[in-house]
Amino acid sequence: MAIDPTDDTTYSYTTSATIYDSLGNEHIVTTYYQHIDEAALDGGVPVGDNQWQMAVYVDGGEVKGGTDGVPYALETDARISFNADGTLNQVDADPSTAGIDPIALTFTDGGATEWMSGAETQTITLSLNGSTQNSGSFNVGALTVNGFPTGRLTGVDVSEEGLIRANYSNGQAIPIGKIAMGNFANPQALNKIGSTAWKETTDSGPVIAGEAATGSFGQIQAGALETSNVDLTAELVGLITAQRNFQANSKAIETNNAITQTIINLR
């Protein structure tokens, strides 16, 4: 019996998944499963036990040439078969071929080959690997979609290994670079050329390039100020100077108040 999405008597179970086109728009793809009677004939031969028919549809209004609200067929004659122990035996749009192959879902109408959103024409690959048939009720144990909607940059973080990741609002975290590190055989012999800049010398030896958390290189702590970049002596002198200036100003104000009070008390 042909599966008709508008007639629930033509299928046994159904499930849906969200996919994304090249512009990040969402589309709902619905899969219908019909259990085939073992006595049903296929080319005059009974199909046998544990056979299923599968059909996949998307809303026709999302496809050029389709009609809004009318299911648009991506695949209508895929066959699924299971072994006697419930493990998956075969999945293919062509029942004459053996094996468990991912099903390529493409638009069936030659005139309707593009999304209404203007996104690129795409082939949707559906894999049923790991599916089983047993006495339990129909259940989708796991569903993985490798597409994602449009996202905006929400932040950047750096791992202990120096890997820089850009985080987006759609949940994606994309590596965009890695911090390079360098070491020297004698770091004390480096030539200081700026407040935090150093240059190699003959005594320091050439730079030894590497990555964080490998070999003799330490880990990177993001968002922290390295204490070795702060001149504690200069900071302490500045603090003492500021304190003395404050005390001197306080004394000047106190002396001024005393003089003013003396003048007021004169008669």
Read off the pLDDT of residues 218-252 as tens digits, 9 standing for 90 and up. 888 887 776 666 677 888 888 898 888 888 777 77
Mean pLDDT over residues 195-206, rounded?
89
Cα(2)–Cα(76) distance, rounded to whole angstroms?
A: 8
What percentage of the chain carries pLDDT values higher than 90?
26
pTM score over 0.95: no
Cα(138)–Cα(19) distance, rounded to whole angstroms?
A: 22
Under a CB-based contact definition with an 8 Å cutoff, are residues 156 and 166 in contact? yes
Mean pLDDT over residues 203-217, rounded?
89
- Confidence label for 194 from pLDDT (cuts 50, 70 and 90): confident
